[in-house]
Structures are given as structure tokens and as C-alpha cells.
Amino acid sequence: MDAPSPRSKTEISGGAHATRQHDSAHKHVTGSADYIDDMPEPAGTLHGYLGLSDRAHAKITSLDLDAVRAADGVIAVLTAADVPGSNDISPSGRNDEPVLATGTVLFHGQPVFAVIAESREKARRAAKKAVFCYEDLPHVTDVRAAMDANYPLVTDPLKLERGDIEAGLAGSPRRLQGEMRIGGQDHFYLEGHIAFAIPGEDDEVTVWSSTQHPSEVQHMVAHALGTVSNAVTVQVRRMGGGFGGKETQSNQFAAIAAIAAKKLNRAVKIRPDRDDDMIITGKRHDFVVDYDVGYDDSGVIHALDASFAARCGFSSDLSGPVTDRALFHADNCYFYQDVRLVSKPMMTNTVSNTAFRGFGGPQGMLGGERIIEEIAYALGRDPLEIRKANFYGGPGRDITPYHQTVKDNIIARVVEELETSSDYQARRAGIIAFNETSPVVRRGIALTPVKFGISFTATWYNQAGALVHVYQDGSIHLNHGGTEMGQGLNTKVAQVLAEEFQVDLDTIRITATTTGKVPNTSATAASSGTDLNGMAAANAAQQIKTRLVAFAAEKFNIPEDQVAFEPNHVRVGNELMPFGDFIKLAYQERVQLSAAGFYKTPDIHWDRASGKGRPFYYFAYGAAVSEVSVDTLTGEYQVDRVDVLHDAGKSLNPALDIGQIEGAFVQGMGWLTTEELWWDDKGRLRTHAPSTYKIPLASDRPKIFNVKLADWAENREPTIRRSKAVGEPPFMLPISVLEALGMAVASIADYQVSPQLDAPATPERVLMAVERLKAMVTEAYVSGEDEADA
């Protein structure tokens, strides 16, 4: 740090709104950032591995584990009977998710037993030696098939309704119906699930878990052990990616590791192989959207009746709130006069689907955008015109289907600026001209907007805590309830703290998230990490500052308003003291230099039964223009150019926010293009490794990729330094890629037929859509009804 010259610096290094590297960047690039599997193991550490069912739905008539027990290096084999507490890790409280299955298995790959052995390899080899006997039961993996088979719902559905849907539809000048299928998505965090449990005295246990939700892991471990939460400490320094996949899915591994550790009184680590991780853990929900929309000749939507059915898997997990959020985002940026939206959280014999960046919002929004696209092609117009015609705005056109008023709407300005900066209109005209003379390669372009609601819809989750210590030398210890999974949360919260104390960022040490320091935390999810934990940390700092100010005023006999925190110094009257010196003095005068901060989001409420309320504190906005090329012989394509303008409010760290936007875009593009989950007729997931499940590569990223923050944006609500959440909203920007692919396909029929491209638009789906339109053109040509060129 600088020498203590009072005027040497006018600004701190790394305060709020400054671009700063991720706090662990140096450690990432040198391989010295420790993930749980990198931690030194206590002597005698054992390793667990899970034994899985190989039926999609069956009664286990017998399970012979003798060969497993007898295998080399095996110390113990655990089944449901070894769970000392409750054999349940259901995060919904519906008691529908066992730690280890017993009696009936409900999906192919459900964990049934655990082997604990001297090494991971020995445990894994031993797990293969189990002999199962089953009585097969009928199974269903597909959403539509589940509906047809009258499979149950895993949780209560939601209905959002406003206006008179029957009259609205009946009175609309035009009407269309359709179905869209939307695929799921594996998180493919690079670090798979892992839990490392170290037994303590009495009923105590410490679990290192790669989790976004340490408090829930703590509660689940206690529940499964049959003890209370104060016996369990859960810690995580960082995850190698989460994306929602570690919100509830860590519970199982943590619970089993803890059970084994307590039973054997040895440290136990469980880390599944990538294939097993993908088979055992839930994913983004697949959806089937059925819609019936009434609109007019100008493309304005009058009425929308839609249902959103989801592949939830065998248990409820988070499917209730996920399918709720799908409905909350089916409107995206558009006002529906009369509307009815219903969710159908379908049970299926597949892994229980879970949180994934956007949490159902992307699927809801994609359904809404498909409807816009259908209207545009039905009217022969640019979908962008239809979008603009339906934007929220003006009196009577600002109420959502859940009866929240949209007060902070900036989408028109975002879209207008992007349309200009990307030269959208000229490029679209150029593409249409290109397509007229290009027999094989066709191009497409699309501009799609995003409006995403920020807050947990489980209102009580919107709270956070932080623990801040200032030590005698002026160094600061920061702990908060959020977890670091790469998003730079720790960096941003530390910047907030640096700004509060007016000290350089490197004064602050970020420490591992632990339930022992900040209790009752919410999942780091719903994009809320910085909003909530930044506020809690600021609150802690303010408490300490208040004490310091009172102390200084008394000590130096000056009014409190003459005590000020200035860059790396504290001004006391006319004297400027180095921060460290001031703190030392405060310590000697017995000022408490530690505080627990707290924050809860104000002004939000939600009544699920009536479907009314203000579930979201504010909305984040953005828009993207994507341009693609499609090979109409094979369905292959590439993304040629993407322009993004996104609203992160008054950004706390522009570099980190742009990183979130670029990353979310490519991840969302993967969801809509090459990432395909494929179950076979036995109910086996066959895309369970990177060899078969294809996330985007460097060479898939848009060849020109212009990402800008709306630098004029500012949160109208008093969020942390007027910033906005940025984790999830940009995930939906690549809906523009899917629609651009659709336009290239639609060129086959002169843009007169909706391409109805389902997701993911693999080369195969693109080619089949091309074929569908080619056949329609040929048919029209043969019957002489249309002169669309072939």
C-alpha cells in the first residue's frame, strides 16, 4: 500500500463500479486455487462411490451386496437402512426424494447404495459388483407421453389469469394455435459434485460441499443424520461452476458422505465420475408449450391461453418454483390484454430436474417469443415489428399476468439503440437479398429482447447476512452467505466493502462461505448474490463505521459530521489518520470492530393462491441481434455475428458483468443449438458425458461478438449502488440465435410460413424444418396455390 501521505490518493483502488479482476484470477491461472478435491486429506480418509439402479421404473425384488462387501479395499456398504435420521433430502418438503432408494426405483441411475473403500478406484470397482433383481414397471420419460399416460404432477400447478380469456380469444380478429417443444440442458459445471465430510466430537460433522446452498446442505445433513443443525458445519470456498446445478443437487452427496463419516469415524470423500454425475443429478426442465393466441392485423396480441408442461422427473425438487417462473416470464416484454397461463409440472421416470440459470424463465420466455414469431410469419412481417407493437408501456398496458405493474420499463430504448448500433434494418435487407440468389446457404437475423424479474419468488429467501471483522492492523475479514462459483460475487461484495470503508480492495480478505459464520443463508441463485450479500456486507460495515464515528467524535471532542472515511484514511476534524492507525486506536479504546450485517429485500409480496402480487423487486433488461448462416443441405450452421446491449444498472464491475453476459449468451446458445439430452426406450440417458453431450466450444462462439452495457442504466430501486443483477437475464439473449436460424429456414418458403423450429435446433432439427418447408412449397407449387419459389 501507499506510504501514509494524506494527499497521496484521491481514490481507493477497487471500489464500487471499478473494473477489477476476479479475486482468484492469479490462483486460477497458476493452478493454486483449491477446489474440494484439491484439499489435503486427513490420514485415513476413505472414499465413497454410489451404486445406481439400472431400471427406469421397477421394484427391487432383491439386492445382493455380498460381492461388493467382499471386494478389495471395501470398508462399508451403506443402504437406506443405514440412514440414521430421515431418509429424505427433498428440498420441497414433500418427502419425495430419498437419500438412497428403497423398494422402488423411479429413474435409471437412481442411487441405491454407497460403497466406502480405501480408495475411490476401489469403491468404484466394487460398486459394479452389486446384483439387482427387479420387477419392471411401466415407465415414461417424455413430457407429452406423461400427459397422455395421466402421470401425476409432482407439485401443485400455478395459474396466472387476468381479464376474460374466453371472450378475448373469441373476439380476436385472428387466432392461431401451436405447440413448441423445448429441450432441457445439463449444467456441465467443469467441477462435478463432491462432498468431503470430516467427523467431529459428539454428533458434530464438518462437510466441505461444492454447493450453492450451504445452509440447505447443513439442514439436509442434520435431517439425514437425525441430529440438529448446530451439529453440522458446511463450508465452500469456491465451486468450479454451479449454474443452479448445485442448488439442491449437492444434498445427496453431502448427506451420504456425512453418514459414512459419522458411522466410520473417518473422513469420507465422495466424487462421482462425470458420467455418473450427469446421470444422477437433475437438469434444466424440458417443456412442451401449447398455445392459443388471439391477435389483430397489426400483430397486437389480444388474448393468450397457454400451458407450460415440464419434464420434472421423479420428484418435486424445485419444479414448483421453476414452472412458476416459466409462467412469470411467458410475457417477456409484452402486454397481454386477456391472459391465462397454467403450469403442468409432470412427473416422469427421469432424474429430478432442478434449478438452472434462469430457473424456468428461459423456457417461459421462449414460448412467448415463439408466439410472436408465429404471428409475424402469419402476417408476413418482421418479427421485430410485432415485438414493438406488443411492448409494455402506457396506461393500461403495464400490468403483467401476475398483476405486477411494470414501472421500470426501458426495453423500448434498449431495442432502439441496439437496432441502430447493429445496423439491423440494412443488414436484414441485405440478408433477404442474399437469400434470393443463394441456393444452398441461407442466412437469418433476429433481434430479441429480454425482461427478467429479479427476486426469489419464495419471498423469505430474499434475505442475506454478512460477517465483517476489522483487525487491529486495519486489515479486514469479509464473510457473507453467498457462494463463489465463478461469477465474481466475492470480488463485487469486497468492492462494496472497500467503498464503504474507503480502503483499497486488497485490504480485504475474502474467506470461505461457512454456515458457522453466517447462518440461515439463501441459495446463491436467482441472480441475487450481489444484491443481497452486497447489501448485508454494506450493512455490517455501516454498523462498524457508526461505532467508529461515535468513538472518534467522543475521543477528539468533535461533532460526528467531522469524522469521515476518506481514501485509506479517516478524517478526524482537521487531522487525516491512516486507516490502520485509526483502527488501532479504536481497538485500544475498546470499540467493537466486528459486525454481523443483514439485509432483506423491501416491498415484495406474492400470493400464489390468487396469482397476484409483486414477486419481483425490479426487472433487468437487454436485447441481442444475432446473424447466422445455415446450410440447407445438411442443417449445419454457424453464428456469424452477435450484438448485445444489456442493462446491469449502474454496474458494480463492468468487466465482470460483461463476462457474465458473454458467458450466459454462449451457454444459452448451447441450450438452443447443440446441447441435446437423449433418452433411449429403456429410459437411459445416453448423452451423459462431453463425448455425447455437446456444449459450445471456442469455435462456436459468435465470430463477431459485440457486447455492451447500457451505460446510462441505473436501477430505479435503491439496490446496492444502483446496480442490477446480471447472472441470469443475459441467458435469454440467444433466443435471437434460434429465431435467426428460423428465418434462414423460413427463406425456403419466402418467409410466408412459420419455421416452428423447436429447441435445441441441432443440425438435424434445422434440416428437418427445411424439409418441412420445402415440402409445403412443392405442394403449393403442384397445386398451383402459391407462387413461392422453390
Q: What is the DSSP string of 226-273?
A: TS-GGGEEEEES--S--TTTTSSTHHHHHHHHHHHHHHHTS-EEE---
Bridge partners (DSSP) of residue 705 are: 642
Min separation Cβ 655 and other proteins, Å = 5
Q: With respect to other proteins, which residue has the nearer C-beta, 516 or 690?
A: 690
Min separation Cβ 744 and other proteins, Å = 11
| Using rule CB under 8 A, residue 25 touches other proteins | yes
On whether the CB atoms of residues 316 and 90 are closer than 8 A, the answer is yes
Residues within window 652-671 making contact with other proteins, judged by CB under 8 A: 655-656, 658-659, 662-667
| Using rule CB under 8 A, residue 790 touches other proteins | no
SS3 call for 433: helix
Q: With respect to other proteins, which residue has the nearer C-beta, 37 or 203?
A: 37
Q: Distance between CA 649 and CA 645 in Å, rounded?
A: 12
Min separation Cβ 25 and other proteins, Å = 4
Per residue, the 3-state secondary structure of 106-150, as one string, reads CCCCCEEEEEEECCHHHHHHHHCCCEEEEEECCCCCCHHHHHHCC
Q: With respect to other proteins, which residue has the nearer C-beta, 459 or 687?
A: 687
The piece of 286-294, 437-445, 452-460, 735-743 that touches other proteins (CB under 8 A) is 437-445
Distance between the two ends of the chain, CA-based, in angstroms? Answer: 71
Q: How many CB atoms lie within 10 A of CB 58?
A: 21
C-alpha atoms less than 13 angstroms from C-alpha of 691 in its C-beta half-sphere: 3
Residues within window 148-207 making contact with other proteins, judged by CB under 8 A: 187-192
Using the rule CB under 8 A, which residue among 318, 326, 466, 630 binds other proteins? 630
Min separation Cβ 135 and other proteins, Å = 28
Q: With respect to other proteins, which residue has the nearer C-beta, 164 or 662?
A: 662
Q: Which helix (H) or strand (E) holds 326?
A: helix 319-328
- Torsion of Cα atoms, 251 then 257 then 263 then 268, to 10°: -160
Bridge partners (DSSP) of residue 304 are: 293, 339
Min separation Cβ 694 and other proteins, Å = 4
Using the rule CB under 8 A, which residue among 161, 247, 419, 676 binds other proteins? 676
Q: How many CB atoms lie within 10 A of CB 69?
A: 14
Q: With respect to other proteins, which residue has the nearer C-beta, 39 or 176?
A: 39
Buried b (16+ CB within 10 A) or exposed e, 115-124: bbbeebebbb
Using the rule CB under 8 A, which residue among 24, 92, 315, 715 binds other proteins? 24
Q: With respect to other proteins, which residue has the nearer C-beta, 666 or 748?
A: 666
Residues within window 634-653 making contact with other proteins, judged by CB under 8 A: 634-638, 640
Nearest to 96 by CA among 110, 82, 84: 110
Distance of CA 105 to the CA centre of its chain: 28
Name the grid cell of 312. Answer: 420434472
Min separation Cβ 271 and other proteins, Å = 8
CB neighbour list of residue 678: distance below 8 Å, 6 or more residues apart:
685, 686, 687, 692
Min separation Cβ 273 and other proteins, Å = 6
Burial class (CB in 10 A: 0-12, 13-18, 19+), 432: middle
Of the residues 247, 728, 739, 779, only one is catalytic, namely 728
Using the rule CB under 8 A, which residue among 178, 692, 781, 788 binds other proteins? 692
Min separation Cβ 38 and other proteins, Å = 4
Using the rule CB under 8 A, which residue among 13, 34, 229, 520 binds other proteins? 34
| Using rule CB under 8 A, residue 494 touches other proteins | no
Residues within window 762-781 making contact with other proteins, judged by CB under 8 A: 762-764, 767-768, 771
Q: With respect to other proteins, which residue has the nearer C-beta, 164 or 640?
A: 640
Q: With respect to other proteins, which residue has the nearer C-beta, 205 or 767?
A: 767
Place of cell 486460477: 28
| Using rule CB under 8 A, residue 471 touches other proteins | no
Q: Distance between CA 618 and CA 631 in Å, rounded?
A: 41
| Using rule CB under 8 A, residue 488 touches other proteins | yes
Nearest to 270 by CA among 192, 181, 185, 375: 192
Using the rule CB under 8 A, which residue among 7, 31, 93, 460 binds other proteins? 31
Burial class (CB in 10 A: 0-12, 13-18, 19+), 555: middle
Min separation Cβ 388 and other proteins, Å = 28
| Using rule CB under 8 A, residue 43 touches other proteins | no
Using the rule CB under 8 A, which residue among 705, 752, 772, 788 binds other proteins? 705
Q: With respect to other proteins, which residue has the nearer C-beta, 126 or 221?
A: 126
* Contact string 232-251 vs other proteins (x = CB under 8 A): ------xxxxxx--------
Q: What is the DSSP string of 675-735?
A: ----B-TTS-B---STTTS----GGGS-SEEEEEE-TT---SS--GGGB---SSGGGGTTH
Q: With respect to other proteins, which residue has the nearer C-beta, 403 or 701?
A: 701
* Contact string 267-296 vs other proteins (x = CB under 8 A): ------xxx---------------------
The piece of 36-44, 92-100, 152-160, 566-574 that touches other proteins (CB under 8 A) is 36-44
Q: What is the DSSP string of 642-671?
A: EEEEE--BS-S-HHHHHHHHHHHHHHHHHH
Residues within window 113-142 making contact with other proteins, judged by CB under 8 A: 121, 124-125, 128
* Contact string 73-112 vs other proteins (x = CB under 8 A): ----------------------------------------
Residues within window 397-416 making contact with other proteins, judged by CB under 8 A: none
Residues within window 368-387 making contact with other proteins, judged by CB under 8 A: none
Using the rule CB under 8 A, which residue among 425, 542, 562, 687 binds other proteins? 687
The piece of 4-12, 37-45, 455-463, 524-532 that touches other proteins (CB under 8 A) is 37-45
Min separation Cβ 546 and other proteins, Å = 36
The piece of 10-18, 697-705, 709-717, 719-727 that touches other proteins (CB under 8 A) is 697-705
Q: With respect to other proteins, which residue has the nearer C-beta, 124 or 646?
A: 124
Q: Distance between CA 209 and CA 192 in Å, rounded?
A: 11
Q: Which helix (H) or strand (E) holds 220?
A: helix 214-225
| Using rule CB under 8 A, residue 52 touches other proteins | no
| Using rule CB under 8 A, residue 682 touches other proteins | no
Q: With respect to other proteins, which residue has the nearer C-beta, 295 or 356?
A: 356
Residues within window 727-766 making contact with other proteins, judged by CB under 8 A: 762-764
On whether the CB atoms of residues 47 and 270 are closer than 8 A, the answer is yes
Number of residues that bind other proteins (CB under 8 A): 91
Residue 728 known to be catalytic: yes
* Cis peptide upstream of residue 760 (ω within 30 degrees of 0): yes
CB neighbour list of residue 771: distance below 8 Å, 6 or more residues apart:
none
Q: Distance between CA 325 and CA 452 in Å, rounded?
A: 10
Using the rule CB under 8 A, which residue among 8, 472, 605, 678 binds other proteins? 678
Q: With respect to other proteins, which residue has the nearer C-beta, 308 or 665?
A: 665
Q: Distance between CA 597 and CA 541 in Å, rounded?
A: 8
On whether the CB atoms of residues 495 and 505 are closer than 8 A, the answer is yes
Residues serving a catalytic function are 728
